[in-house]
Chains A and B, each alone.
Chain A
């Protein structure tokens, strides 16, 4: 699960990580007041108005604007709330923006030799970055089975590019699996990033708090980009300007406060509908609908359809505990995609029983009806009962073909769709 930037700011603050003053608004009328409030609290004329959508590419699309007056703020808000945001990461028709963040601008300290001397463990060569902007993130490294703190002196930019071009500019510090990040580790990273004086301890505290947040809230990604050192009247503070969080869906059950942050507008409607029934569904571009149990077998089913010259229309894992209703719903989701010209059902029952799937097929035939070729391959738990059910309902399933094995099923569905 992901959350919006304004929610991420609240989360950071609740863990004692400083962020610039900010306010979320939903209407143009609130823009001017929000501007006045955050700029007064921030002691600046400068503010930033940002669209609250999960998709990236906001800046280039004009949905992040620096403003210097209440009027500017209102204009920016009007633009963002009345236009759809389009970027390479959004659907072609763009996204409707329903909420904005208005945050006080921050003057970032210049990166100069005087202000910052490189520590003994400097993060690589000087790179020409002119502002004190840093990258800070925690994620889980499955290879070492540890949570890892990732830091760089080159914040505010495409960090993936930095990692690719100059891996030495990226610092990694593993969190102890039972004890978490230790203060000496955080200090070591802070020194290596070039912090000096009291800012070493401020930066280290941000890292320690972020690490605690990461573990306690079951994150899979906690990213601050950039973390900055401020200049000007309120200078010398270490502040998080933007943050991004992903959470482990499996952990949400113990964090109702996070679950409440989920934005239904950000979910693909078909995927959200599937999720309500315990199904895992991802829409793809092809025309052969797939219904499979188990993620590995579902991927393998997509692979074999491609090998036979077909194109899968979706990934759909019904899981192990789906009910008849869920299976019927799964067919209704697959058939709601008008591009689907054939369906391949591939079930190897273990925890899932073949007769449940068969009953779901029979119910779907009664409820929706199958007009496209339906190739069914059943094996495993209760397979005989499943086959009997389908056989006895044959008259309601005119397009049904039974397959003897995986290869046979893929061939039959691809042939049927090709024959169109």
Chain B
């Protein structure tokens, strides 16, 4: 099951012909993602070459790409000031999982995008009179400024050529990587020594890889890893992922990586105490970061006292979360929490 995406998810890339878009489209394809096409306005009808053995079609619009490929997920690599429009275009075309990798999106753009997303969510919830999580056909935004999301598959190949992907459903594996994370550091539960899988959610890109790598080396697999991004206004937050992981039968424990700034981890701590039944471990980066670089008086008034690492660690511990004090101990904290 995992969360958000799995081996049957069809993925497109918006900005497929840019340098990063091209590099990571290829990377996802070689991992084994069912990557079915890409979008670059003005280049519709052309082909994007994965390698000599394979290519995928390029479309002018997301709407056309969805119609022709049946894609339900997208990864966005367009320039920062075009990212908001790219997210809205994906929503407009009915994409469910929108993963915005782009770094440097203006905050004011994200405030508007997030408001549109929230309005869709609210009206749908009212129509369904549901109190629980988003219904399956509502768009979920991951990011921006994030590494993406991956549901690892069992390693069945080399991952160097299109004919020999890292994980392949036809060879008994099959996973889905949408983003820029190195695939090989992840482990499918079937190939893990301890036979258990954890869900990982993180605000930081490379620190997520560190956490994944540690859990893999300690014998754990990962169900799904979500990099939610470090921007002040974004799509999914810690709580959304905690809820999804807690409901996922293939996830045995949850590792949450936070950092200083904002109050997300405090809210997550309260959520864990009230709702989460699975073991949770956490690490908060920035305990030794010097204060400063704050946004003047008004920022301090809004910020409150909750945004320090120590306040977050305290709140998480009070909710029964196993907190690693060293970033080298994130994996061992997870193993310990699993018991």
Binding site for B on A (CB under 8 A): 137-143, 145-148, 150, 159-160, 163, 170, 177-178, 215, 218, 220-221, 223, 225, 244, 246, 248, 250-251, 253-254, 282, 284, 292-297, 299-304, 306-307, 312, 315, 319-321, 347-352, 379-381, 405-407, 410
Contacts and interface: CB of A to CB of B under 8 A. Distances in A.
Interface in B265-307: 283, 285-290, 293, 295-302
Nearest to B232: A142
B180 interface: yes
A142 B209 contact: no
Contacts of A284: 290
A234 to B, nearest CB: 29
B299 A221 contact: yes
Given A163-B300, A251-B107, 9 more contacts: A137-B298, A150-B298, A160-B300, A223-B296, A248-B106, A292-B206, A296-B206, A297-B205, A406-B328
A249 to B, nearest CB: 8
- Ranked nearest first, the 8 interchain pairs of A and B with the lowest CB-CB distance are A296-B204, A294-B206, A407-B328, A177-B115, A300-B327, A296-B207, A139-B298, A251-B106
B171 to A, nearest CB: 24
Interface string B178-204: 001110010000000000000000111
Contact of B262 (A143, A177, A297, A379): A143
- Using C-beta atoms within 8 Å of the partner chain, give the interface range for chain B: 35 or more
B289 A244 contact: no
Given A140-B232, A143-B263, A312 B301 contact: no
Contacts of B259: 295-296, 299
A299 B298 contact: no
A223 B204 contact: no
Contact of B107 (A218, A304, A352): A218
B89 interface: no
Given A303-B327, A406-B327, A220 B107 contact: yes
Contact of A350 (B80, B205, B233): B205
Given A250-B104, A296-B207, A406-B327, A315 B182 contact: no
A342 to B, nearest CB: 17
A352 B111 CA distance: 29
Nearest to A383: B182
A132 B250 CA distance: 63
A250 B300 contact: no
Given A163-B301, A218-B108, A303-B286, A177 B326 contact: no
